[in-house]
Structure formats: C-alpha cells, structure tokens
C-alpha cells in the first residue's frame, strides 16, 4: 500500500517547527497550504480591524541569536518555543502514543476545555505527524478552545487560527464559534467577537446560553458595562439560564471599577432568580458588598445585607464595616439597624467612644425621638466619657430648626435631673446655643439662670461664649459687660473666643477704647483674636484716626494668620491717613501722634493707679444701676442689622479654648418695657 502523501502545511510546521525538508515560501497562517474556500471568509479584512499584534506559534521564525527553546515575538517579548515543551512533557507524550485516535480526540476536547495548551499541541503532533491525520475541524476547535489559557492564548492567535481555517477551506462550526467566544472572554477583542456573531447570524445559528454568558463576560472585560447589563437583562427576560460564575464575575468587576449602583442592580437581579438566602454568592462577596454599601452610604443595600446575613449568622462583618453601617443607620434613621450594630460590637467587647454614641444620637434625632437621644447623652456621661458641645452637634442642629425645641429639650433635661440622673453642662449649653441661633436671647438667659438647678457642675467658659455671641448679635454691650463680671466672680477662665467676642461687641457699640483694652489684655495672656476680628479692629481704629492703629498693624504683621494682600492694603490705608503736606513721612516712629498711641497702649498695659481706681468706681456704679434696672425691666431682645450678625459667622458651638477677662465697665441704657408677664430676676447674678 503506497504511503499517504506528505502535506507540509501550516499545522505541520507548527507541530514540527524544526522540519526543514521543504522551504517555507509563503507567510500563511496555521493552515495556509489548504484550498481556499469560495465561501465568505470569517475575517475578510483583518488588516483593517484593530487588534493586538501577536504571532501564532506557526508564524514564529527561529532566531539564531536565541536559544533553541525560545523564539521572539513582534511585541518584543520572549516566549518558549512550542516544540521545547516536548522534553518537559516527554512522559505525557509517551502516554499519548499508546492512545487510539478516538481516545486522543476525546482527550483533546477535555484538555482544551481546561486550557492545557501544551497538552493539546502534543496530541496534535501525534495525530498529524505520527498518525498522518489530515488537519480537520475537531483539531482546530480544540486549538481554539485551548486559547482560553491566560498564558498561551491571545486575541491575535485566535484571529490567525480562524484566518487559516478559512484559507484551508474549513468552516468553523457552532462548537468552534463557541470555543472562540470563550477564548475571547479571556482575551477580549470586540471586533473579532462581532465578526463571529455575524458569521453565526448568517448561518442562522443561535448562541447557546453558555455562549451568551461568554459574550457578556467579554463585554465586562472591555468595560462595556451598559451593553453587558443589557444583554444580561435580555437573557433573564427570555428565561435563559445564566451561569453562576457570571453573576460573581459581573458583581466583582463592577465593584472593582466603582460602578456600585450597577453592582447592586445585578445583585437584585440575582436575588429575583434565586430562592436561597445567599443567592449562590460567596461569603467574601457578601462581605465586600456590605463594606461598599457602608462606605458609599447606601441604606437600602446595607440594611438588606445586614438583616439577611449578619443577623442570621451567615456573615461576621469586621469592626470597620460595623462602624460604616452604623453611620448609614444614623443618617437614614434606622434605629433597629443601629442598635443591632451596637449588639454586634458589644459581643466583641468593643470599647464605645464618642463617635459611636454620636451616631446613635443622630439616628434617634432623625426619627424625631428627642427623649431617646437625651438618654444616650446621659449614657455617655455615665460611661465616664467627657461630653462636650462638639460631640453634641447633631443635637444642636436638631434644636436649631424650631423655636420650640430648645425649651422642650431643657424641660426634658429638668425631668431627667429630678429622676436622679446627672446632667452634663454641655447639654444645657447646646440649648443656650440653639436659642441664640434662633435669635431668642431672653430664653438663653433664662436657661442660664436655671442652669445650676439642672447641671450641678455649673456654667463653663463655653456657656459664657454662647451668651457673648448672643450679646454681640443683639447689640447688648451692657449685658456683655455684666456677664464678664459674672465670669470674674465665678472664677471662670475665658479663652480666645471670649476675648474675641467681647472685642466685637465693643466695636459694634462704638467703644474703641474698651475694644483695644480687651485686645491688650488678650495679648498679655499670650493670645490673639481671629483674623477677621483683628482686621476689623484695625479698620475701626483707623477710621477714628487713632494713632494706635499703627501698633495694631505691627502686631498683625507678626501674626501667623496674616494675609499678605490684606496686609498691604492696611499698610496703604495707614500711610495715607498719616501723611502731612502730601508727603509721606520717612519715619512713622517720629510722628507725635504715633508716639502718643504707643504711650497710651503702654499705659494701659502697665496700669495707672488713678485711672484704674476711676474705672473701678465707674464700673461699680454702672453695675449697681444695671442691677436696679434689671430688677424691674426685662432684657431687650432688639437685634442689630443683618450685616452685624454676619460678622460672627465664624463662631458657633464648636469654639473651645481658654484665658481671663478684664473688669467690666458696663454702659447704662434705658430698656424698653417688656410685653411679657414673666420678668427674669437678674439681681441674683450680683456678686
């Protein structure tokens, strides 16, 4: 029997790269020597379609400068020569020799599905070289399927193999197209995938559900999320089965690229198609979804995952995830979720800090449960945690929305105190601050009068700071001086904010001397006012043509909060006001007015006994007059203009620091008669 004719085609050259009996004359692909099919090619014009440039193993040309086991590729990389694996897998090749052709074809399909490209190449060598099998569709199908290997497969190799099949007259079947789509899900190429789908459409081949999953996976790899989700929804509407691996892959990739809403949309689709609690998703994926829902503040997703997996015991979230979920519950007002987060943290013996209780307070206030929020404040106090006004900011924001809420909160604090609970002063300060924010200074003074009956600790610096803020906004300088004297009598040390608001109050009352005196006293304590207050003080003194503005400007130059542009403007204004005869003086220190300004400031700093005694006498007489006036007349709640109110925008409940006020020199002014029947008795403030 004559031997079968020898066919030196591209597949033969791939399987036997060292075969040099017949010279290679053409640059064909894998099956370039076969007859070209008259039917339309699968890839009619590959040169016009952008794709990654990769050579298939058949197109690799040996390079004399490289070892015999490697070959070069056009992209500059170095790969092992396909024939070099024969020595490493010699024992496997020996086993394949003992297989029959039917067994080899069966094993070919199995190893190709696993992505064992080297094993597939060994079996193809045995079939073509030893068994003299002609290259056929099952061989090409297995070769296409083996390109699912992330190491050996590329989109360029898939394209080249399909071109060689078309050149050899071998048409890809439905199975070959599905294998190519699976390989393209690992090595995406949108143009090649579209060519395959058009090829199948021309032959009326409908992609199987598995092939549709591969198409969606390829779109996800290309970040075409909208197209992928559209195909996924179409599959569900048509009742097509979706593989479990595709759900995990879609959610993971959407989370990885920040498409959180789309990820939870896919999760909702998955829950609709599944009857189990975990919906077929892994525990790690559920943990990631819960963490993302907490970080992105998605209350619906966080509560759904928490109730379905954490409460039931399927999931144990981390402490950081619990804190994120607690923040979500606080914003959404989900009291049940917040309390359950506290339960989980308590089971771990976690130490509760201010931020835990603050989130719980906000959660209760969102649902308008003020008594529960105040109870949490008292729990903070009983837990040996220092309660400050900053930590009660959610309570301040809640009370500032309605004029009736501060009084309601204060009355509830009184009830709690009567029941034997210890009330922190910060809670009363929040009520005072809310009343002042709402423009009700008289109510704030009433809270101050009854403060010691509620909070045993008594008033603090923050209490007087809020009252000074109300005096500033209402233009009540005489009340501010009276409260400053109260601070001295109670031995409460003021801070930077105290001096700052006293300076602003004096400036808006037109008393520049008192404002500068407070500034000097503030500097002696090692403090400076806020930048806006300092600039306002310079401008007011400059407008009054007072030479002390030069010293104030020099202190502004040395301050850390100075602004160079603003400093240049103030310097120009000072120089302009102290010019003589149209010519600027060369030395401002020689100016008599300037020297007088410095002398006046130094005199205030050192303290003149005569002037001090006069100030003390005037202050005492003013206080006596004010006390007599308060006994019969309520405090006026008249307010200044809106511009004056906006000067203190940078102040609020969060201001805390500490230093000492000067002796007050209140002004006596006639008070308008009150329209209310209850008149606060201010005589008990007298020292």
DSSP 273-339: H--SSSTT--HHHHHHHHHHHHHTT-HHHHHHHIIIIITTTS----HHHHHHHHHHHHHHT-HHHHH
pLDDT of residue 596: 52
- Whether residue 198 lies inside any domain: the answer is yes
pLDDT of residue 9: 59
pLDDT of residue 112: 85
C-alpha span between 190 and 459 (Å, rounded)? 72
The answer to whether the CB of 256 falls within 8 A of the CB of 220 is no
C-alpha span between 476 and 506 (Å, rounded)? 10
Residues of the chain with confidence (pLDDT) below 70: 1-94, 275-278, 578-687
Helix (H) or strand (E) holding 441: helix 441-449
pLDDT of residue 674: 33
- Whether residue 186 lies inside any domain: the answer is yes
- Whether residue 672 lies inside any domain: the answer is no
Q: Model pTM?
A: 0.65
Q: Long-range contacts: 529-535, Cβ < 8 Å, 24+?
A: 529/496, 529/499, 529/500, 529/503, 530/496, 530/500, 530/561, 530/650, 531/559, 531/561, 531/562, 531/563, 532/647, 532/650, 533/500, 533/503, 533/504, 534/559, 534/561, 535/566, 535/570
How many independent structural domains does the chain possess? 1
pLDDT of residue 107: 86
Q: Is residue 482 left, alpha or beta, with left meaning phi > 0 and alpha meaning psi from -120 to 50?
A: alpha
Question: Which alpha helices (H) appear in 152-259, and where do they start and end?
Answer: 155-167, 174-186, 190-202, 209-221, 225-237, 244-256
The answer to whether the CB of 93 falls within 8 A of the CB of 123 is no
- Whether residue 94 lies inside any domain: the answer is yes
- Whether residue 681 lies inside any domain: the answer is no
Residues sharing a CB contact under 8 Å with residue 516, sequence separation 6 or more, in sequence order: 537, 541, 548, 552, 601, 604
C-alpha span between 23 and 400 (Å, rounded)? 91
C-alpha span between 646 and 27 (Å, rounded)? 81
- Whether residue 242 lies inside any domain: the answer is no
pLDDT of residue 159: 92
The answer to whether the CB of 151 falls within 8 A of the CB of 183 is no
- Whether residue 626 lies inside any domain: the answer is no
Nearest alpha carbon to residue 559 among 582, 583, 530, 584: 530
Q: 68: how many CB neighbours lie within 10 A of its CB?
A: 12
Residues sharing a CB contact under 8 Å with residue 194, sequence separation 6 or more, in sequence order: none
pLDDT of residue 321: 93
**Alpha-carbon torsion (64, 65, 68, 73), positive or negative:** negative
C-alpha span between 595 and 574 (Å, rounded)? 15
- Whether residue 558 lies inside any domain: the answer is no
Q: Which domain holds residue 201?
A: 10-207
User: Locate tokens 């490289």: which residue?
Assistant: 66
């Amino acid at each position: 029997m004559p031997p079968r004719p020898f066919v030196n085609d591209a597949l033969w050259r791939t399987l036997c790269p060292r075969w040099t009996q017949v010279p290679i004359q053409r640059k064909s692909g894998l099956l370039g020597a076969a007859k070209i099919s008259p039917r339309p090619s699968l890839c009619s014009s590959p040169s016009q379609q952008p794709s990654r440039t990769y050579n298939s193993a058949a197109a690799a040309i040996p390079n004399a400068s490289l070892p015999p086991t490697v070959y070069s590729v056009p992209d500059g990389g170095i790969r092992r020569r396909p024939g070099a694996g024969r020595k490493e897998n010699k024992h496997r090749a020996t086993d394949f020799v003992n297989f029959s052709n039917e067994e080899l074809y069966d094993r070919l399909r199995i190893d190709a599905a696993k992505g064992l490209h080297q094993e597939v190449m060994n079996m193809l060598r045995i079939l073509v070289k030893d068994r003299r099998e002609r290259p056929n569709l099952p061989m090409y199908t297995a070769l296409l399927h083996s390109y699912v290997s992330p190491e050996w497969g590329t989109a360029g190799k898939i394209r080249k193999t399909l071109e060689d099949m078309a050149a050899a007259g071998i048409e890809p079947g439905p199975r070959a197209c599905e294998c190519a789509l699976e390989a393209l899900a690992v090595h995406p190429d949108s143009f090649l995938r579209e060519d395959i789908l058009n090829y199948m459409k021309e032959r009326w081949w409908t992609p199987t559900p598995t092939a549709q999953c591969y198409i969606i996976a390829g779109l996800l790899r290309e970040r075409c999320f909208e197209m992928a989700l559209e195909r996924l929804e179409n599959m569900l509407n048509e009742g097509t089965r979706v593989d479990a691996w595709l759900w995990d892959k879609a959610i993971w990739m959407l989370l990885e690229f920040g498409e959180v809403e789309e990820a939870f949309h896919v999760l909702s689709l998955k829950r609709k198609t599944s009857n189990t609690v975990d919906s077929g998703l892994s525990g790690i994926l559920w943990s990631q979804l819960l963490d993302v829902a907490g970080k992105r503040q998605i209350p619906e997703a966080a509560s759904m995952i928490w109730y379905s997996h954490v409460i039931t015991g399927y999931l144990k979230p981390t402490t950081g995830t619990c804190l994120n979920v607690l923040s979500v519950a606080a914003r959404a007002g989900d009291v049940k979720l917040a309390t359950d987060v506290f339960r989980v943290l308590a089971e771990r013996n976690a130490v509760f800090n201010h931020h835990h209780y603050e989130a719980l307070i906000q959660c209760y206030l969102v649902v308008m449960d003020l008594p529960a929020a105040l109870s949490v404040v008292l729990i903070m106090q009983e837990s040996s945690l220092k309660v400050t006004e900053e930590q009660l900011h959610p309570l301040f924001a809640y009370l500032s929305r309605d004029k009736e809420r501060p009084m309601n909160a204060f009355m509830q604090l009184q009830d709690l105190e009567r029941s034997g609970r210890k009330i922190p002063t910060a809670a009363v300060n929040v009520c005072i601050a809310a009343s002042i924010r709402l423009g009700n200074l008289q109510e704030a003074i009433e809270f101050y009068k009854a403060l010691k009956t509620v909070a045993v600790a008594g008033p603090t610096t923050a209490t007087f700071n809020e009252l000074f803020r109300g005096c500033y906004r209402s233009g009540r300088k005489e009340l501010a001086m009276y409260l400053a004297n109260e601070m001295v009598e109670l031995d409460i040390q003021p801070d930077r904010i105290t001096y700052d608001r006293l300076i602003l109050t004096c400036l808006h009352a037109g008393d520049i001397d008192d404002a500068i005196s407070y500034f000097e006293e503030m500097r002696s304590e090692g403090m400076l006012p806020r930048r806006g207050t300092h600039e306002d003080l310079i401008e007011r003194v400059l407008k009054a043509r007072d030479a002390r503005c030069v010293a104030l400007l020099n202190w502004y130059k040395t301050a850390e909060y100075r602004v160079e542009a603003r400093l240049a403007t103030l310097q120009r204004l000072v120089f302009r006001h102290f010019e003589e005869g149209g010519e600027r003086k060369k030395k401002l220190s020689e100016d008599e007015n300037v020297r007088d300004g410095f002398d006046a400031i130094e005199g205030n700093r050192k303290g003149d006994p005569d002037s001090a005694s006069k100030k003390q006498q005037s202050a005492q007489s003013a206080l006596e007059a004010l006390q007599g006036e308060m006994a019969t007349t309520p405090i006026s709640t008249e307010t200044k203009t809106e511009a004056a109110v906006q000067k203190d925008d940078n102040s609020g409940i969060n201001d805390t620091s500490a230093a000492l006020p000067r002796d007050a020199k209140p002004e006596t002014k006639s008070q308008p008669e009150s329209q209310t029947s209850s008149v606060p008795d201010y005589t008990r403030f007298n020292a």
